[in-house]
């Protein structure tokens, strides 16, 4: 049994397949009817109007209807498109067991516990016949698929066959047949019946639960509570029992003939489904469930599918695989159909029968060939099947057998999980029990045995001498000659393997996924499908084409996929020639399918950057659609998407995204909406295209932005026009701003006066020396005259002159991309039109006549007069005369046009030169290349924690550059500062960067650290020494001697950091005197300056003496006196301790401290590591640690990883030379 779909639900009592769609209805004991898509495995709908269990359900063959009958005595007819019940048929007086639509007439047959069968007309919604005769519950009733018969089964132990021919005649009578109608009326009047019992079949000992007709033969099968399945035959006059099938252990609940195979399927309350051979009448197979009784069976009207309902849901299943076994070799397809090996030649499309293949001996299902392997040179075929737990047969096809194909030959046989040819005359057979491969020759003799590297359940061909071995979650490629694994890959359970023709790529097909890998099984991409993957093949371009149950799809090398075509029925792809796919269908017919490969070839060309192909495809093909546009945008080709799009809004967005301002302008003109003009203005401003910015602002009537735009582009003529417009529109603020932008003081005074701000007007006039106007205003103000500040110097407010007055910003000359150049046929006219628009001063677009609510008469006239006036003035001033010049020569014209500004090619930035020349981390950080600086530090010193170095990195970078202000509106210029620069140096030679850290600064920090240590400020001292440790990696010195000094400094500082950390730790441990003494003792073994060593010894002596560890204290006193302390107090104390200890040389507590045995202290755990014990070190600060600290961060310097491989401190160019 091949389970295709399973549901978990309440008990399923009724099932019905849809004839065309992959749907099944399940009616439940809970009263719900579920509609499932068994292919997708999803619940589409549920219908919940019955009260109590629904025992029968049935789809109409052609209408969007289904019928249901339940324990509420109601038959309901539903429209599944409208998701509702259309009407209810009432008439039965007890539970309704089954309902069924007639395949041709508008009839429904229903069986009920009220001992009747009713036939209803669902169009007129009436009961047209009641069949009475059973004297117990009628358990089922169904129409014959072709004849006018109904079969019913009842608990009265009989099966009845009813003739409904009269009913059919009655319903097809035409109104003209009056005589017939009259005789019919008489018959009705005198008790004539529409349906009569034809046969009563008696033979079961208990109640019969189910009876059904054979789809074509005059046979009936029935199942009953006597646990038997009976077969009955009928002719025109009588019916009789043919045979009984015994085997079920409980009531048989349902039984039917299979539509496409010669078998009977039955299920029972004994929790099993049984399959019987209908001709031999023997059991073939049994499928059991552990806890669920079966109640109902249903067969698909068209396909090879069955469904069974049980106590906790239902299953949709197939009894046998329908995939034909096939193998492709060059131009031929070898496949098995109806127990014959056949060959199909692709070039001629000729199909030939070759040789018969034996029938499997056993009765079981699923014994058909599963795998075919072909050796072209020897003309040999291996056919593998599941017989006897896996077996193979080897046939040699005789040369003369092409076309005859009826000679039975005795094949060489053997058992094995799977068998494939691996060379011309060798094939490999998997022996599952020992997990090894047997290599055999064509005489079926074992030549070689080879154990497999993984537990293998199937093998596939992988090139000559190689095998793909499959386990549940892994696949490996195994070389049988060298017996080595060439590659492996974790995948879900692989069902089929498809190699490309050049054997460079392989597709591994699982139930719901496809993995594409190369010939060494290096993973390339994985695709997941919700619907089952069925087959696949490689096309000539390296694209993998595959089929699911419903579609033909493609997968590009980068994992992008898409649909090529929808399928009505599943097919198995064998080979692809260009745009023709050859497939085998489930009936074993080879058929070509023509596909449109444009979409995936287009995407492949984009992927492989073959833009010439992309170009020609755009021009010649009809590629379009939202999906393609989205794909191009996602892959970063908005400029290509632009040429697919007809919708102006989408075009506008794509044009903005790709920076194509001309195309955006085109679309904005067509859309003509404020929002789009605004966005165009923003983008044009970003690109520095002044003309379009101006046009967009005019379109949106954004006068403030427009004025400011004229100010920064220096277009003062238009700015003065803007001032006049503001005056007309009575926008005082706008007018004042324009006057301010123009530097027109008189105008400003006039505006302030008109607005009633006389004091402001007076001050403005006075400050700017307009004394006549100031006096006039003073007389108006009278006593309210504002006083001007004394002794202040006024500065004139004049707008700065713009950086550039020549229209657009200069742009670098760049060659047009292939797409703009080749695709802009339509765009050319637009550009010229746009250029004209710029030359035309764009004044017309701002139609001053359109200005809203004119207050000062027709301003258009005013402006024109003013312009005329200005022109006349000009002519009066200069006396210019026209010169009689010769016409311009064409050469001059071309020269003028081609003299385009080309920016000089940029040189290499200084920071890049620094990085290329140096291996010093400090210089990389100064160049701003923090990433490489960190890599260098990791390689040289094993540094892993960079957060303490962050501020140093930033200081180095900032300190190696200085910043100069440029013009007012230009950005600040960054200049690199070089180390050791002099005026005599050549300007083309770049020196190394100037660094903010130097060695002399560290000396000062060391002294500060010593001072803090002497004063007992241990936290401050630790900060100083840590700062030195964190600066040394970024120090650069010149000479070898200085390099040695730096390395020496690292050791000194490390000793101090370790000792200070121990002392700070000791001070925290107030309640652990033993550990306090140990840490004080270890402190004296750090390599410190003599004054600090004396203080340490004094401290340790005091701590131990107080704790009555006199022997240890005496040792410290002795060492203290050996240092010749200059401080008399220290010496006296030491001598007193020695005297006291000599009386009683004992220790009160045992310490982990042996001063006789030399040791170093672990920087993390602060325990002694005695000479001869294993230890690990920090590659940077050389601190020692116990071995368990390996791989951790050094606790002393807080930078490096302990025991990390590192090349050593690099701090001078002299180390590299």
- Round to whole Å and give the CA distance between 915 and 121: 91
Q: Is the pLDDT of residue 689 over 70?
A: yes
- Round to whole Å and give the CA distance between 42 and 444: 49
Report how many helices (DSSP H) and strands (DSSP E) the chain contains, helices first. 31, 61
Q: Which residues pair with 441 in a beta bridge?
A: 426
What phi, psi does 12 have (nearest 5°)? Answer: -95, 120
Q: Is the pLDDT of residue 1003 over 50?
A: yes
Q: Which two tokens stand for residue 306?
A: 């069955």
Under 8 Å CB-to-CB from 666, ≥6 apart: which residues?
Answer: 651, 655, 827, 830
Mean pLDDT, rounded, for 244-254: 94
Sign, Cα dihedral of 1094, 1095, 1098, 1101? negative
Q: Which two tokens stand for residue 734?
A: 């706008």
- Of 1140 and 814, the structure prediction assigns the larger pLDDT to 1140
Distance of CA 112 to the CA centre of its chain: 55
Q: Which residues pair with 201 in a beta bridge?
A: 159
Mean pLDDT, rounded, for 1137-1149: 85
What is the longest distance spanned by two Cα atoms in the chain? 151
For the chain, the straight-line distance linking the first and the last C-alpha, in angstroms and rounded, comes to 78
Give the residue carrying structure tokens 């500060």.
1008
Least confident of 542-556, 964-978, 1061-1075: 964-978
Mean pLDDT, rounded, for 19-39: 93
Q: With bands split at pLDDT 50, 70 and 90, how would you rate the model's confidence at 191?
A: very low
Coil, strand or helix: which one is 696? Answer: helix
C-beta neighbour count of 397 within 10 angstroms: 19
Q: With bands split at pLDDT 50, 70 and 90, how would you rate the model's confidence at 782?
A: confident
Coil, strand or helix: which one is 898? Answer: helix
- Note the helical H segments in 992-1127: 999-1014, 1018-1031, 1040-1068, 1073-1083, 1090-1106, 1110-1122
* Burial per residue of 1168-1202, b for 16 or more beta-carbon CB atoms within 10 angstroms, e otherwise: bbeeeeebbbbbbbbbbbbeebeeebbbbbebbbb
Mean pLDDT, rounded, for 172-191: 51
Least confident of 284-288, 518-522, 543-547, 701-705: 701-705
Mean pLDDT of the chain: 84
pLDDT tens-place string over residues 842-855 = 333 333 344 444 44
Q: With bands split at pLDDT 50, 70 and 90, how would you rate the model's confidence at 650?
A: confident
Q: Which two tokens stand for residue 130?
A: 């009641």
Q: Is the pLDDT of residue 825 over 60?
A: no
The residue among 712, 706, 675, 711 whose CA lies nearest residue 693 is: 706
What phi, psi does 535 have (nearest 5°)? Answer: -165, 175
Helix (H) or strand (E) holding 705: helix 703-713
What's the confidence (pLDDT) of residue 311? Answer: 94
pLDDT tens-place string over residues 1005-1029 = 999 999 999 988 999 999 999 999 9
Give the residue carrying structure tokens 């906790």.
312
What's the confidence (pLDDT) of residue 831? Answer: 39
Least confident of 128-132, 811-815, 1108-1112: 811-815
Percent of the chain topping pLDDT 70 = 88
- Of 987 and 97, the structure prediction assigns the larger pLDDT to 97
3-state secondary structure 536-573: EEECCCCCEEEEECCEEEEECCCCCEEEEEECCCCCEE
- Round to whole Å and give the CA distance between 629 and 635: 10
440 CB-contact burial (10 Å; exposed 0-12 / middle 13-18 / buried 19+): buried
- Of 651 and 270, the structure prediction assigns the larger pLDDT to 270
Half-sphere exposure at residue 855, Cβ-oriented, CA atoms within 13 angstroms: 8
Least confident of 285-289, 646-650, 818-822, 1160-1164: 818-822
Mean pLDDT, rounded, for 828-848: 38
Asked whether the beta carbons of 118 and 127 are under 8 A apart, the reply is yes
C-beta neighbour count of 560 within 10 angstroms: 18
The residue among 259, 310, 265, 305 whose CA lies nearest residue 284 is: 265
Give the residue carrying structure tokens 């197939």.
318
Asked whether the beta carbons of 713 and 690 are under 8 A apart, the reply is yes
- Round to whole Å and give the CA distance between 713 and 690: 8
Percent of the chain topping pLDDT 90 = 35
Q: Which whole-number Å values give the CA distances from 221 to 269, 328, 968, in the listed order?
A: 18, 43, 100
- Round to whole Å and give the CA distance between 1167 and 1178: 16
CA dihedral angle for residue 87, residue 91, residue 92, residue 96, rounded to 10 degrees? -10
Q: Is the pLDDT of residue 981 over 80?
A: no
- Round to whole Å and give the CA distance between 1214 and 1212: 5
What phi, psi does 1146 have (nearest 5°)? Answer: -130, 165
């Amino acid at each position: 049994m091949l389970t295709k779909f399973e549901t978990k639900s309440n008990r399923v009592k009724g099932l019905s397949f849809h004839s065309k769609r992959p749907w099944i209805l399940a009616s439940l004991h809970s009263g719900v009817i579920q509609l499932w898509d068994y292919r997708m495995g999803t619940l589409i709908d549920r219908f919940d109007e019955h009260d109590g269990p629904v025992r029968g359900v049935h789809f109409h063959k052609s209408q969007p209807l289904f019928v249901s009958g339940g324990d509420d005595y109601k038959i309901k007819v539903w429209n599944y498109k409208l998701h509702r019940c259309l009407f209810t048929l009432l008439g039965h007086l007890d539970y309704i067991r089954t309902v069924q639509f007639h395949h041709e007439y508008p009839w429904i047959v229903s069986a009920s516990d009220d001992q009747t069968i009713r036939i209803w007309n669902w169009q007129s919604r009436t009961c047209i016949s009641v069949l009475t005769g059973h004297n117990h519950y009628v358990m089922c009733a169904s129409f014959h698929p072709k004849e006018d018969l109904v079969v019913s089964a009842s608990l009265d132990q009989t099966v009845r066959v009813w003739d409904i021919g009269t009913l059919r005649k009655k319903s097809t009578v035409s109104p003209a047949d009056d005589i017939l109608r009259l005789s019919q009326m008489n018959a009705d009047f005198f008790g004539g019946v529409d349906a009569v019992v034809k046969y009563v079949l008696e033979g079961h000992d208990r109640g019969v639960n189910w009876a059904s007709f054979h789809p074509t033969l005059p046979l009936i099968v029935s199942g009953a509570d006597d646990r038997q399945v009976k077969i009955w035959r009928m002719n025109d006059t009588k019916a009789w029992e043919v045979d009984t099938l015994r085997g079920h252990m409980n009531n048989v609940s349902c039984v039917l003939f299979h539509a496409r195979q010669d078998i009977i399927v039955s299920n029972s309350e004994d929790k099993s489904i049984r399959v019987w051979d209908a001709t031999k009448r023997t059991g073939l197979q049994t499928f059991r469930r552990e806890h669920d009784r079966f109640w109902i069976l249903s067969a698909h009207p068209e396909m090879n599918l069955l469904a069974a309902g049980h106590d906790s849901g239902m299953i949709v299943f197939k009894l046998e695989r329908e995939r034909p076994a096939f193998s492709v070799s060059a131009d031929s397809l070898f496949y098995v159909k109806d127990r014959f090996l056949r060959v199909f030649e692709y070039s001629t499309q000729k199909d030939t029968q070759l040789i018969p293949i034996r029938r499997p001996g056993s009765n079981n299902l699923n014994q058909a060939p599963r795998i075919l392997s072909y050796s072209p040179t020897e003309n040999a075929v291996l056919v593998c099947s599941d017989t006897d737990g896996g077996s193979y047969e080897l046939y040699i096809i005789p040369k003369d057998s092409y076309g005859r194909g009826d000679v039975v030959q005795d094949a060489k046989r053997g058992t094995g999980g799977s068998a494939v040819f691996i060379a011309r005359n060798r094939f490999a057979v998997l022996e599952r029990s020992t997990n090894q491969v047997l290599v055999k020759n064509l005489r079926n003799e074992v030549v070689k045995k080879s154990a497999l590297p993984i537990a293998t359940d199937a093998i596939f061909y992988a090139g000559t001498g190689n095998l793909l071995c499959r386990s549940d979650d892994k696949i490996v490629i195994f070389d049988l000659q060298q017996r080595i694994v060439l590659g492996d890959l974790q995948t879900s359970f692989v069902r089929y393997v498809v190699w490309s023709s050049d054997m460079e790529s392989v597709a591994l097909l699982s139930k719901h996924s496809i993995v594409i890998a190369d010939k060494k099984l290096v993973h390339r991409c994985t695709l997941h499908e919700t619907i089952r993957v069925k087959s696949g093949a490689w096309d000539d371009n390296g694209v993998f084409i595959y089929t699911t149950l419903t579609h033909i799809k493609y997968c590009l090398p980068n994992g992008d996929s898409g649909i090529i075509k929808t399928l009505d029925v599943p097919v198995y792809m064998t080979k692809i020639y260009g745009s023709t796919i050859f497939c085998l269908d489930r009936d074993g017919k080879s058929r070509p399918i023509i596909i449109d490969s444009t979409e995936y070839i287009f995407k492949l060309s984009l992927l492989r950057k073959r833009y010439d192909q992309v170009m020609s495809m755009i021009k010649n093909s009809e590629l379009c659609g939202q999906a393609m546009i989205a794909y191009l945008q996602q892959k970063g080709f908005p400029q290509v998407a632009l040429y697919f799009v007809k919708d102006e809004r989408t075009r506008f967005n794509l044009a903005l995204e790709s920076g194509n301002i001309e195309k955006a302008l085109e679309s904005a003109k067509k859309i003509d909406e404020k929002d789009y003009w605004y966005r165009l203005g923003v983008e044009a401003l970003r690109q520095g295209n002044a003309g379009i910015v101006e046009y967009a602002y005019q379109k949106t009537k954004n006068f403030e932005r427009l004025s400011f735009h004229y100010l920064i582009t220096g277009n003062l003529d238009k700015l003065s026009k803007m001032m006049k417009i503001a005056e007309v529109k009575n926008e005082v603020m706008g007018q004042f701003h324009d006057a301010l932008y123009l530097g027109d003081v008189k105008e400003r005074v006039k505006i302030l006066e008109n607005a009633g701000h006389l004091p402001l007007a007076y001050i403005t006039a006075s400050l700017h020396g307009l004394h006549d106007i100031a006096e006039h205003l003073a007389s108006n103000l009278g006593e309210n005259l504002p006083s001007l500040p004394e002794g202040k110097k006024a500065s004139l407010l004049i707008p700065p002159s713009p950086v550039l007055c020549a229209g657009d910003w200069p742009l670098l000359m760049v060659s047009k991309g292939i797409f703009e150049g080749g695709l802009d046929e339509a765009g050319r006219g637009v550009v010229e039109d746009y250029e004209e628009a710029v030359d035309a001063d764009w004044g017309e677009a701002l139609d001053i006549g359109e200005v809203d609510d004119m207050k000062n008469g027709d301003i258009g006239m005013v402006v024109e007069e003013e312009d005329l006036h200005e022109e006349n003035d000009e002519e009066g001033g200069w006396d210019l005369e026209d010169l009689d010049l010769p016409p311009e020569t064409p050469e001059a014209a071309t020269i003028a046009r081609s003299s385009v500004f080309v920016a000089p090619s940029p040189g290499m930035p200084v920071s890049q030169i620094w990085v290329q020349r140096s291996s010093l981390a400090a210089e990389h950080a100064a160049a701003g290349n923090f990433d490489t600086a960190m890599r260098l530090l990791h390689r040289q010193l094993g540094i892993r924690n960079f957060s303490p170095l962050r501020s140093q990195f930033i200081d180095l970078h900032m300190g190696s550059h200085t910043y100069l202000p440029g013009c007012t509106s230009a950005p600040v210029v960054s200049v690199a500062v070089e180390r050791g620069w002099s005026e005599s140096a050549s300007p083309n030679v770049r020196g190394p960067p100037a660094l903010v850290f130097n060695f002399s600064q560290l000396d000062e920090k060391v002294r500060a650290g010593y001072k803090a240590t002497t004063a007992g400020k241990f936290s401050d001292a630790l900060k100083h020494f840590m700062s030195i440790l964190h600066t040394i990696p970024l120090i650069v010195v010149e000479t070898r001697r200085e390099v040695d000094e730096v390395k020496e400094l690292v050791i000194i500082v490390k000793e101090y950091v370790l000792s200070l950390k121990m002392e700070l730790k000791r001070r925290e441990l107030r309640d652990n005197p033993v550990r306090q003494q140990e840490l004080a003792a270890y402190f004296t073994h750090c390599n410190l300056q003599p004054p600090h060593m004396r203080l340490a010894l004094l401290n340790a002596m005091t701590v131990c003496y107080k704790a009555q560890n006199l022997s240890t204290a005496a040792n410290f006193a002795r060492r203290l006196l050996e240092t010749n302390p200059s401080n008399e107090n220290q010496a006296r104390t030491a001598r007193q301790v020695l005297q006291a200890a000599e009386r009683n040389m004992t220790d009160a507590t045992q310490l982990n401290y042996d001063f006789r045995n030399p040791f170093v202290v672990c920087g993390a755990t602060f325990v002694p590591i005695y000479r001869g014990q294993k230890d690990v070190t920090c590659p940077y600060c050389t601190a020692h640690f116990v071995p368990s600290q390996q791989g951790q961060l050094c606790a002393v310097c807080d930078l490096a990883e302990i025991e990390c491989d590192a090349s050593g401190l690099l701090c001078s160019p002299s180390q590299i030379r």
